[in-house]
């Protein structure tokens, strides 16, 4: 993406606005930086002056030397303290802002409509919240203080040098940008080689990933030799490109060193002439040489930080993109009526599409009475989850109304609507945490007994009791200690405990062992008793026992009715039934 200068400055301005809570710290930090820079630069001046009092044998003014050394010592102490505290204060500012930004992104995450989150890859979201914000802290705030320090050092150095001798200063000021330009020149020349290197590295990585992931297949087909020779070819190309990129980029250091050693020599010669001419002392020359040595440092640092700074701005605009994403989940602050409901659902003339050009649900109406079971069936990818999205208002219908006990759901707050439903999805989601925490997810203040009862109703309590840590067993990220089926039972227990009047269930298609399968279906049946349930169904018994079957294909509802009605129709449902269930 290209960032225009205008956009850049607005991103930068916005980032600065995060500073305003820490303005005091920031001003202190700037003030301390000035002290640090001045103290650091005074040391060569004072030591130069000391040298001027150490002329030759018998010609040493110890009193003045001592005074100068005292001055150096004071400069060091002030410099050290201010440098240390600048560092600490900058850390506070940076990490606080990072924290603020991250919390803001997290807040936003839960305000955004599900459609936005669905449209963005998980990895992308994570990298914006974690890596990009990290980059902002590294590049921007740390970078800002470094650049400030660097620029200040350069300006002060020039002033100090001008005070000693303007002519020699001119040499330094003119020659330094040369090294700067040389670095840039080499960087631009090597850029192309780095592009080649990263493309051939990507090529090799793709090959390696593919081969390693499928090494067993390579083994089974005895395809070793072929894959090796392909690897060798790509490895050789990478080596060639890497060599060029590494070598040419490694020329930067010796080249800048060459420029500085030349500069150093010129300053020495010119300084020597000036001292002989009487316009400068030997101590001045020593201070000059000290400055020439140090002068390159801020330039190198600024070059480095500017790249980081650019990256940080790009990162920031990616983060702001999330923060500025339009639409919120629950714009109106509707009152939350938590009174109990019967569970009559009425769907009237609903139209919906994810993309206006592809209408999905057209003119859909359905009356569901309290306690009825609605099965949603259809081939994989037919859009069964669309129904879940509409009922839970993860997405809003384009037109038409869905009401619960006569009250349209878009006149309810999300909290109210969702408290009526219990949901078990096919994509099992458990938190990293104990089994207890997971079962009590919807009811954080549940008692142990309630948790245990919920587990019992979900046929998972025996298994939990057998675990060494019982209900305190920690479910890790991958959930390696629990099988897929057991995890689904935990999800069921979670809903059992919340005890909602209505249900949305997605039966798992993934195969689990037969014992667990039986448990899951028993648990589902128990859960559905007496509750209005919408089930994305895969099992025949669930489908046949439903009050209404919605048959979906390509995202839209193609048929609706009872099992018998639909079979008699000999339409799409009949075909699915024949191919999937009646062999």
CB 254 → other proteins: shortest distance, Å?
A: 4
Separation of alpha carbons 555 and 378, rounded Å: 9
Interface residue with other proteins, options 23, 219, 408, 522 (CB under 8 A): 219
- Single out the residue of 31, 156, 20 nearest to residue 83, CA to CA: 31
492 binds other proteins (CB under 8 A): no
CB 10 → other proteins: shortest distance, Å?
A: 27
Q: Taking a C-beta distance cutoff of 8 angstroms, is the pair 312, 322 a contact?
A: no
Binding mask 16-55 for other proteins (x = CB under 8 A): ------------------------x--x---x--xx-xxx
Interface residue with other proteins, options 264, 354, 463, 572 (CB under 8 A): 264
Q: Which residues inside 223-262 make contact with other proteins, applying CB under 8 A?
A: 223-224, 226-228, 231-232, 235-236, 238-239, 242-243, 246-247, 250-251, 253-255, 257-258, 261-262
Q: Taking a C-beta distance cutoff of 8 angstroms, is the pair 295, 157 a contact?
A: yes
Contacts of residue 561, defined as CB under 8 A and 6 or more positions apart, other chains included, come to 548, 549, 569
Residue 379 vs 571, nearer CB to other proteins:
379
Positive or negative torsion for Cα 59, 62, 63, 67: positive
Interface residue with other proteins, options 28, 35, 38, 117 (CB under 8 A): 117
Residue 58 vs 356, nearer CB to other proteins:
58
275 binds other proteins (CB under 8 A): yes
Query: Which of the stretches 23-31, 181-189, 215-223, 556-564 binds other proteins when contact is defined by CB under 8 A?
Result: 215-223
Query: Which of the stretches 5-13, 77-85, 156-164, 453-461 binds other proteins when contact is defined by CB under 8 A?
Result: 77-85
Separation of alpha carbons 575 and 567, rounded Å: 9
480 binds other proteins (CB under 8 A): no
Q: Which residues inside 528-547 make contact with other proteins, applying CB under 8 A?
A: 540
CB 291 → other proteins: shortest distance, Å?
A: 11
185 binds other proteins (CB under 8 A): no
Contacts of residue 427, defined as CB under 8 A and 6 or more positions apart, other chains included, come to none
Q: Taking a C-beta distance cutoff of 8 angstroms, is the pair 62, 50 a contact?
A: no
Q: Which residues inside 393-422 make contact with other proteins, applying CB under 8 A?
A: 394, 414-415, 418-419, 421-422
Q: How many residues bind other proteins (CB under 8 A)?
A: 134
Q: Taking a C-beta distance cutoff of 8 angstroms, is the pair 527, 354 a contact?
A: no
- Single out the residue of 410, 350, 416 nearest to residue 386, CA to CA: 350
- The DSSP output letter for 355 is B
Task: Please compute Rg for the chain using Cα positions.
Answer: 36
Binding mask 550-579 for other proteins (x = CB under 8 A): -----------------------------x
Q: Which residues inside 287-316 make contact with other proteins, applying CB under 8 A?
A: 289-290, 293
Interface residue with other proteins, options 313, 387, 392, 523 (CB under 8 A): 392
For strands 548-553 and 345-352, give the pairing: unpaired
549 binds other proteins (CB under 8 A): no
Separation of alpha carbons 467 and 455, rounded Å: 14
Q: Taking a C-beta distance cutoff of 8 angstroms, is the pair 563, 576 a contact?
A: no
């Amino acid at each position: 993406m290209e960032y225009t200068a205008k956009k850049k400055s607005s991103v930068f301005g916005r980032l600065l606005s995060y500073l305003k809570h820490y303005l005091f710290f920031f001003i202190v930090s700037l003030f301390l930086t000035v002290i640090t820079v001045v103290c650091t630069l005074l040391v060569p001046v004072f030591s130069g002056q000391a040298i001027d009092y150490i002329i030759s044998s018998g010609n040493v003014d110890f009193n003045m030397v001592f005074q100068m050394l005292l001055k150096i010592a004071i400069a060091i102490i002030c410099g050290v303290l201010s440098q240390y505290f600048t560092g600490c204060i900058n850390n506070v500012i940076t990490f606080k802002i990072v924290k603020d930004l991250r919390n803001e992104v997290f807040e936003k995450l839960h305000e955004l409509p599900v459609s936005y989150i669905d449209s963005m890859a998980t990895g992308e979201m994570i990298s914006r919240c974690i890596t990009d914000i990290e980059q902002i802290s590294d590049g921007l705030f740390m970078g800002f203080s470094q650049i400030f320090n660097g620029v200040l050092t350069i300006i002060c150095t020039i002033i100090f040098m001008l005070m000693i001798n303007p002519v020699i200063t001119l040499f330094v000021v003119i020659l330094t940008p040369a090294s700067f330009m040389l670095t840039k020149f080499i960087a631009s020349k090597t850029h192309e080689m780095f592009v080649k290197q990263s493309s051939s590295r990507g090529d090799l990585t793709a090959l390696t990933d593919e081969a390693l992931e499928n090494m067993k297949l390579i083994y089974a087909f005895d395809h070793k030799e072929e894959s090796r020779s392909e690897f060798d070819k790509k490895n050789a190309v990478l080596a060639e490109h890497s060599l060029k990129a590494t070598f040419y980029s490694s020329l930067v250091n010796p080249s800048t060193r060459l420029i500085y050693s030349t500069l150093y020599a010129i300053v020495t010669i010119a300084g020597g002439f000036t001292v002989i001419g009487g316009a400068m002392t030997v101590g001045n020359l020593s201070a000059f040489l000290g400055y020439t040595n140090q002068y390159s440092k801020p330039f190198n640092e600024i070059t480095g930080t500017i790249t980081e700074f650019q990256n940080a701005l790009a990162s920031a605009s990616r983060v702001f993109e999330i923060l500025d994403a339009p639409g919120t989940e629950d714009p109106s602050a509707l009152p939350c009526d938590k009174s109990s409901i019967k569970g009559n659902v009425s769907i009237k003339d609903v139209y919906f599409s994810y993309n206006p050009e592809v209408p999905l649900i057209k003119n859909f109406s359905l009356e569901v009475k309290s306690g009825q079971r609605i099965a949603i069936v259809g081939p994989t990818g037919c859009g069964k989850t669309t129904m879940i999205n509409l009922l839970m208002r993860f997405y809003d219908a384009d037109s038409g109304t869905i009401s619960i006990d006569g009250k349209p759901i878009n006149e309810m707050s999300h909290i109210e609507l969702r408290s009526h439903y219990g949901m078990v999805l096919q994509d099992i989601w458990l938190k990293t945490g104990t089994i207890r925490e997971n079962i009590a997810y919807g009811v954080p203040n549940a008692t142990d007994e309630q948790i245990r009862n919920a587990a019992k109703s979900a046929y998972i309590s025996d298994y939990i009791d057998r675990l060494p840590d019982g209900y305190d067993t920690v479910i890790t990220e991958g959930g390696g200690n629990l099988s897929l089926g057991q995890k689904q039972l935990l999800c069921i227990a979670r809903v059992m405990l919340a005890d909602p009047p209505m249900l949305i269930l997605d039966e798992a298609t993934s195969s689990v062992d037969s014992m667990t399968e039986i448990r899951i279906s028993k648990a589902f049946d128990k859960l559905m008793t007496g509750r209005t349930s919408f089930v994305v169904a895969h099992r025949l018994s669930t489908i046949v026992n439903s009050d209404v079957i919605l048959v979906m294909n390509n995202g839209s509802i193609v048929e609706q009715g009872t099992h018998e009605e639909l079979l008699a129709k000999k339409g799409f449902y009949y075909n699915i039934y024949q191919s999937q269930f009646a062999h």
